[in-house]
Amino acid sequence: MDMRWPIEDRDLDELELDLRNVRIPAEALDESAIANYLVEAEDLLDLVRDILRDGYLDNDLPVVVMDDGRRVVVEGNRRITALKAIHNPELLGKSAPRIERLLSRYPDADTPTQVRVMVAPSREAAQPLLARLHTRNAKKSWLREQQAVFYHAQLSPSVTVDDLRTLYPIGTTPIASFIRMGEMRELIRSMKYDDPGLEEFVKTSQLKMTSFEYAYELPKIRQALGLNFDKDGRLVSKRLSDGQRRGLMYLLEEFRAKRLNTRSPELRSAKDEHNIFAEQLRQLVGGIETHASDPTGAEEDLSASQNGSTSVPGSGNSDGSDADIAGPSSGTGPAGGRPSGGTGPAGGRPSATGPETGSGGTGHQTGPTGQPGSRGPNRGETRSRLDMEGFEYKGSSSGLRRRFEELQRLDVRDFPNAAHDLLRTVLECSIKDHFATVRQMRLTGKQLGACMTELASAYQNDQRMTSLINAINRKGRMPAAQYAGTAFSLNASNHEPDSFVAGRDVHEAWDRIKPILIEIVGS
């Protein structure tokens, strides 16, 4: 395929954002709507800051196509939007003051009004390039969470939920449902976290909001947390008490540990476990007033989506990617490890304030009701096998595929060091596989450290991947919880005679490496 497309210098006001990239039904969709979405979903303001601080780099050219005489950006919308916002902060609406503050912070920044772009002959001709840059598959419609972020980002003092219903005619109930998700996403991302691992789980989108929705949409869970939405899906109050924050963190930790998922009986309103769990959560929050009725009808909305009767425009299914976080269908309990019975309610989970979450517990394990000595769950680090759910190797290397098969079968309790060494091998080889097949670049002879450096460079504009890679590359003094899975620890167990790991270390290392593998060689 001939990729020698012409390169041109074009003024920013000649370049238009690609409205067709947004799978939202609307006649009045404009660049401002896309820009506001990019602020919330793609960390646009971070890119604006980087450009103002470090300058605009044009080594990776935006790609445009001619469309009815207009130059439409099909690759590089985020960069072009950032430049447009720098020169016209009002493009970002409610976020304009934040741009103004950044401009004041970097008054001498040199930002171009003209950029070099590569001109593709057509959208069809550009598709293979876009697929190679972003994914191995053709572009997909937005998932439910992405749509929620889009709609929620448009809200401002001058844009109401009723305005959104007029602009985006998809029905009253779905809009309110999307706004609720946007409100909850904003709320949990704004909280202060005692546990860096939990904060990373929430803020790097490892948490699937389409799964978390199964919890906060249930009236008894919401009442226990003291959260109330109005008819439009807006939170009545976003001020959290210490108890509410503690309850939300406990709920989030349950999802992170995969003790809760979309199939858990605790999140099924008809199950006895649901009533028990809601009461435990209410006691954990501590004295939050509850209400007997729920005026939003959210439970009916969720029931419809669980039964597959609620259509999400452009998503191809009813509930997005809930299965990504769901536990296996077989095992000792619904979360792939929770005991089927226990001496305390719901199997006696550890307290959100206990030592497991890093939030300053008392040093002994308790259930949510604060009763010491209750039976603890079958936590992930006690399992004999690594949790492979959500990861499937999609590469073409038969040798790497066999390594993953071995890793899946290894009993990490009996062979922790063998499993840990194999983790290092699959990480290094997966990076090499990714570069060879996706980026047409071979890393022959490079070891793990050099491979991680190449990966960091390749994903420097992807904040989520940068965060995951930085966790592996972390050096210097650090808490024990951050050490597992770092390149330093992987190399130490491989090269140092006295370095010896336990099964828990392998589970923690896998949890840190797995999201990277999903991105570069998996699905």
> Between 147 and 186, whose confidence is greater?
186
Task: Spell out the SS3 assignment of 394-418.
Answer: CCCCHHHHHHHHHHHHCCCCCCHHH
| Residue-wise pLDDT tens digits, 388-443 | 988 989 888 989 999 999 999 999 888 999 999 999 999 999 999 999 988 889 99
Residue-level pLDDT at 34: 84
Q: For residue 403, how many other CB atoms are within 10 A of its CB? A: 18
Confidence bin at 102 (pLDDT 50/70/90): very high
Q: How far apart are CA 150 and CA 39, in angstroms?
A: 10
Q: How far apart are CA 489 and CA 424, in angstroms?
A: 10
Residue-level pLDDT at 188: 95
* Average pLDDT of the chain, as a whole number: 78
- Percent of the residues in the chain that have a pLDDT greater than 70, as a whole number: 75
3-class secondary-structure state, position 66? strand
Which segment of 50-64, 352-366, 376-390 scores lowest on mean pLDDT? 352-366
Q: Where would I find the H helices in 308-462? A: 398-409, 416-437, 448-458
Query: 240 vs 121, 138, 197, 232, CA distance in Å?
Result: 53, 42, 21, 20
| Residue-wise pLDDT tens digits, 66-89 | 988 899 998 888 899 999 999 999
| Residue-wise pLDDT tens digits, 197-213 | 999 999 887 899 989 99
pLDDT (average), residues 104-116: 90
pLDDT over 80 (residue 370): no
Q: For residue 69, how many other CB atoms are within 10 A of its CB? A: 5
Residue-level pLDDT at 40: 78
DSSP 342: -
Contact 352, 344 (CB under 8 A): no
> Between 139 and 490, whose confidence is greater?
490
DSSP 257-269: TTSS-TT-GGG-T
| Residue-wise pLDDT tens digits, 166-204 | 877 665 557 889 999 999 999 999 999 988 999 999 988
| Residue-wise pLDDT tens digits, 216-225 | 999 999 999 9
Is pTM beyond 0.85 here? no
> Between 251 and 309, whose confidence is greater?
251
Residue-level pLDDT at 135: 45
